[in-house]
Structure formats: structure tokens, C-alpha cells
Structure 1
Amino acid sequence: MIKRLKDFSELVAFEHTIFSAPFMLIALLCASMQKNHSLWFGTSLLLLCALALIFARNFAMSVNRYVDRDIDSKNIRTKNRPSVDGRVSPKMMRILILGNALGFVVVSYFINTLAFSLSIPFLLILGFYSYMKRFSYLAHIVLGLSLGLAPIAGSIAVLGEIPLWCVALSLGVLFWVAGFDLLYSLQDMEFDKKEGLHSIPSIFGAKKTLLISRIFHLLTLIFWGIFLALFGCGEIAYVGLGLCAMILGYEQYLVSKDFAHIPKAFFVSNGYLGFVFLVMMILDLVME
């Protein structure tokens, strides 16, 4: 049983939850301050949002691994994934897809009416990403949109609406994720060319990909700055934005210096960024 759970965790890359979770929490906290003038929005809502996030991620990753298992079997970097080497069967992946989709819809029902109404459209966006690279290099943007739904969901859970500050926060997440996905995709540039897959690195080359990634990360900082301004954040939050800028700059430096640093830039730098921003936002909201 423990081995099976480890295989499932590897299949859905559960550790990648660190990318979206901090931004859902930022939206939850900001929405609570707007509505309740308090950081705390309730234990039950926190548990429901955590379940929704887990179900959504598990659904998205299960779809991705199921759809891509033929591609992954040809790629040296991915041929040992549980979806390829037989540790998790196609039948089990279909069960995971349906089970997590149902779990997400049910949890959304208990959050509020708007969350329930948008649960199916959200799932369609999350599942659509897995097909994009077969016909469009905009897959990086769709991946960014998928993670950008996390703060949107947080705002909906507390407010039952999507304010402008949350849109700006989500757009920042979109370009942040798309930017680091471009760097990560450099590892598969030659493979994508060989297999006829659509990605920005395979179509535009490494040099232009690095430039586009930098533009995306610049847009990230701009949209997060707009978010802070719209919400009326204080100096501590802007210090947090400055720290995020430093982390993104370090990530870009690592990859431009040597593509062998891509895994470190992807997991370490981006793993810290969300939590740094979250901690600084909490401090700012408390001090205000």
C-alpha cells in the first residue's frame, strides 16, 4: 500500500503543489481582509479549498500522464514515470481522473454557488493543457492559466466574486508559470523537434526562448505590482515583490549560464518564490 501511494504521488508530482498553493492562500487572506477585516476565513473553508486544490491538481496531472504516456515512453527524461513503466496502469489512471474530477465538483458545491458553477469549466481548462502541445506552442500559456486559476478560486471561495486585484494576481501567476515552463522545456527542445511537438523552444530556438521567458517574468512582476497597488498593500508587500524579482533574476541567470541548472532553477527557485511572497504578504496584512 505504501509503495502504491508513492507511485501515485510520483504520478501526479504531488510536490509541485508548492507552486500554486501559496497564491491560493494569498487570495484567501486578501479576500478575507476585504470581507471580514480579518486574516482568518474559517477552518471549514480552509479544508474545502485544500481539498479542491488537491483534487484539481491530481486531475490535471493524471490527465497529463494518461494522454502523454506514448510521448513519455520515447523521452529519456520521462521514460521511467509510473505511467510509462507500468507501475500505474491506464485503467487506474482513468479511475484517478474520474475520481478526482468528481471530488473537485463535489467540494466546489459545498464552497458556494459560483465555485460549483465554474467547477466544470475549470476542469476543462486543466485537462485541455495536455493536448495543446500537439498542435500549438501556446501550451506554456495554458499551463500558466491552469495554475493562475488557484488565486481566482481562493477569491471565489471567500467573496463569491473575482475582484480586479485577484485578476492581476492571477495574471502574474500565469506569466510566472509560463516563464519557468519555457526554461524547463529547453530540456526537451530536440525531442520536441523530432516528434513534431509544438513548444516555443522547438520552434523559436533556445536564444529566443530565454528572451521570451524574461519578458514573461517581467510581466509577472508588473502584474503583481498592479495587484499590490489595487489592494492597497504596504511597504512590506513591495519588499516581498522585490525579493521575488531577485529570485526570478537568479533563476534566469542559472539557466542562461548552463542548461544543466534547469532542474535546480525549476524546483528550488520557484519553490521558494511563492512562500516568500506569501510570508511577506501575511506580514504586510498583519502590520496594516
Structure 2
Amino acid sequence: MTDFRERTRLVLNMVKIEHSIFALPFAYTGVFLAAGGWPGWRVFLLLTLAMVMIRSFAMAMNRILDLRFDRLNPRTQSRPLVTGELSVRFTVVFCLVTAVLFVLACAGLNTLCLILSGPALIWSAAYSLTKRFTWLCHYFLGSVLGLAPIAGWIAFDPQFTLPAFLLFFGVLFWVAGFDILYAAQDAEFDKSHALHSVPAAFGLETAFVLSRFSHVQAALFFLLAGFAASLGWIYFLAWAVVGTVLYMEHRIVSPGDLSRLNMSFFTLNGAVAALLFVGVLLDLAL
């Protein structure tokens, strides 16, 4: 039992389960908007299972594909796959299991979800490889998480809609903006190992400008999504708070001071997804 608990702890650490606060609320936002309220337990639970599985799959694939770099980077040398606490073989099996469960959850939702499950798995796993050849990797990662509101929408209503796509672009730019900031701490490592990122390619000053630009775009797309979905004042109040949070994120970190980067990355960005979902939830309820 102790070994099982320890293995579970290591797996949760590997996939950074706490980062689910970034994508899961947007999937819920999509499904609640599509349903105009509560989507029912079947859809809600299957969507939750699908989101947790594909995110776990993507993170585990990232750890496998980046293993040789993680072994060299001082910031990542304590990761379970690097220390040997989890083996590559175990992680490959974990990827296979989570991929199968994801496909089964999609099959339980509807035919469109099942058809798109394969491309979604490939897309989510490809992020790690983009760092090998383009500084646009941050925006690619944003597109992966941006699928969350679309996934939520089609889980209930299997068609593509304008509000879902506006949320997709909002999430894309939001994620890219904070991932650029997060990559600032690895700028020198990336340059010395031929890895691509905005900070490594253009320097920290330009990286912070592009991050701010991305977050302005995110705020605009979230605003347009509210109009497209005919939401009311509660959502737009939540949107205003989100805009303030994004502004504060760029006040507490700077090219010369990355000491509060984790506060920006985890605390403030976690609040963005939750605030918009709560705004949608309350708006639909009232």
C-alpha cells in the first residue's frame, strides 16, 4: 500500500495534476455554454475523464520527449523520470493507458468527439517537439489548451460554433503569454542547447513585450466570446476582473526580476480560468 501511494504521488507530480486548473475550467465553460446550464452527469463526468486523461497523456509524453534536456537542466533535475523514481517503460505504459481511456471517454460522448480523439492526442503530444525548431512553440502550446472550450462545447453539442472558437483563441493567447514568461527562466539553457523559445530568440525585454501583447489579445477574445454567447453583466464583470489579474501579472514580474514568477504562473493564471468559468456559471444561473 505504501508503494502504491508513493507511485501515485510520483505520477501526480510527473503530470503536474495541480495545473489542471488551467484547462479544465475552460472545458466546463464550453459545455455549460453549449447546454445553456447544467449538461447532465453523463456528459460532465465523461468530459472530466477525457480532459484529465489527455492532459496526463500530454504531460507524460512531454517528460519522455524532453528527458535528455531535463537531465541537463538544473531546474528539472528533480523530476521523477530524471531521478529514476519512475521508469521510461512505466511512463510509456501510462501514456498508452491514458490515451485508451481518453478515446473511450470520447466514444461515450458522441461520434464527433470519437473522430477527433486521435488528432487531439497527436496534437497534444507534439508540443515538446516544436521547441526543437520554432519560437512559436508557446503559441502551439496555447492551441493545445485552447481546444478545451471547443472540446467542452462539442461534448454536449457536436458542432463548431463562434463562441467556442473565440474562447479557443482567448485561451491560445492567454497560455502563450504566460508560457513566454515561464520560459524566461530557461533562456540561457535553451540558447546553449539549440532549443527555441521567445526569450532565447529575442531576449527578455522583447519576450515581455510579446507576452503583454498576447495577454491583450486574450482579453479581447474573451470579451468577444461573451458577446457571441449573448452573456450578461456578470460575465463581463468577471472579464474585467480577469483583465485586472492579467495586468497585475505583468506588474509583479519584469525582465530584471523573475523572483515572483511562480506566483504569476500558478496563483494569478489559475485565477483566470476559474473566474471566467464562475462568470459563465453565474450568468447562466441568473
Does the TM-score normalized on the shorter chain lie above 0.5? yes
Q: CA deviation at 1:103?
A: 1.1
Q: CA deviation at 1:71?
A: 0.2
Q: CA deviation at 1:219?
A: 0.4
Moved more, 240-249 or 257-266: 257-266
> Is residue 14 of structure 1 aligned with residue 17 of structure 2?
yes
Share of identical aligned residues, percent?
38
How far, CA to CA, are the matches of 1:125 and 1:118 in structure 2? Answer: 11
How far, CA to CA, are the matches of 1:162 and 1:83 in structure 2? Answer: 38
Residue matched to 1:101? 99
Correspondences of 1:131-150 after superposition (within 5 Å) = 131-150=129-148
**Cα RMSD after superposing both structures:** 0.8
For 1:75, the aligned partner's letter is N
Equivalent residue in structure 1 for 2:214, among 206, 213, 216: 216
How far, CA to CA, are the matches of 1:109 and 1:188 in structure 2? Answer: 39
How far, CA to CA, are the matches of 2:204 and 2:217 in structure 1? Answer: 20
- Count of residue pairs the alignment pairs up: 282
Residue matched to 2:263? 264
How far, CA to CA, are the matches of 1:270 and 1:132 in structure 2? Answer: 23
For 1:176, the aligned partner's letter is W
Q: Which runs of 5+ in 1 are unaligned?
A: 34-38
> Is residue 274 of structure 1 aligned with residue 277 of structure 2?
no
How far, CA to CA, are the matches of 1:87 and 1:150 in structure 2? Answer: 31
Compute the TM-score of the two structures, normalised by the length of structure 2. Answer: 0.97
Map Cα deviations across residues 178-230 of structure 1 (whole Å, 9 max, x no partner). 10000000000011011110111000000000000001000001111110111
Equivalent residue in structure 2 for 1:240, among 238, 253, 256: 238
State the secondary structure of the residue aligned to 1:270.
Answer: helix
Residue matched to 1:118? 116
How far, CA to CA, are the matches of 1:231 and 1:64 in structure 2? Answer: 34
Show structure 1 runs of 4+ deviating over 2 A: none
Q: CA deviation at 1:255?
A: 1.2
How far, CA to CA, are the matches of 1:84 and 1:254 in structure 2? Answer: 32
Q: CA deviation at 1:274?
A: 1.1
Residue matched to 1:36? none
Equivalent residue in structure 2 for 1:65, among 63, 66, 70: 63
Q: CA deviation at 1:282?
A: 1.3
Residue matched to 2:283? 284
For 2:72, the aligned partner's letter is K
Q: Which runs of 5+ in 2 are unaligned?
A: none
For 2:267, the aligned partner's letter is V
Q: CA deviation at 1:278?
A: 1.3
